Amino acid sequence: MEEWGEKSNDLNENIMVAEIYYETYPKMIPIYSHRYIPSEPHKTGNPVFSIYQTDIIYYGYDLAHYFAHEFRFELSDKFPIIDAPNHIDFWGDIES
């Protein structure tokens, strides 16, 4: 990640930098298989990510749309249409 600075030749230093930044990012809550929802921000409409090693993609722009996508059913028209996911620090920046 660019914000982490230049990569060092010292593996221990690189691990220390990664651990420091890791503590600042929203933690992911497992939902099903390799699908996760971020623990922050604490608001409605957080997206669901599919995270498999370094393959990180949005898999639902919110929890309801994720379930519809994952389990192949249509949502009622009472659910709003969402054109883009809410941005989540770090995770939204590395989405592939």
Omega into 47 within 30° of 0, i.e. cis? no
Residue 44 has pLDDT above 90, yes or no: no
- Whole-model pTM? 0.81
How far apart are alpha carbons 31 and 46 in whole angstroms?
13
pLDDT, position 95: 57
Q: Quote the percentage of the chain above a pLDDT of 90.
A: 76
Residue 4 has pLDDT above 90, yes or no: no
Give 34: exposed, middle or buried? Use CB within 10 Å, 0-12, 13-18, 19+.
middle
Of 62, 53, 95, give the one whose Cα is nearest residue 81.
62
Residue 3 has pLDDT above 90, yes or no: no
Q: Residue 8 belongs to what H/E stretch?
A: none
pLDDT, position 2: 82
Going by DSSP bridges, is the β-strand pair 48-52/55-60 parallel, antiparallel, or unpaired?
antiparallel
pLDDT, position 40: 92
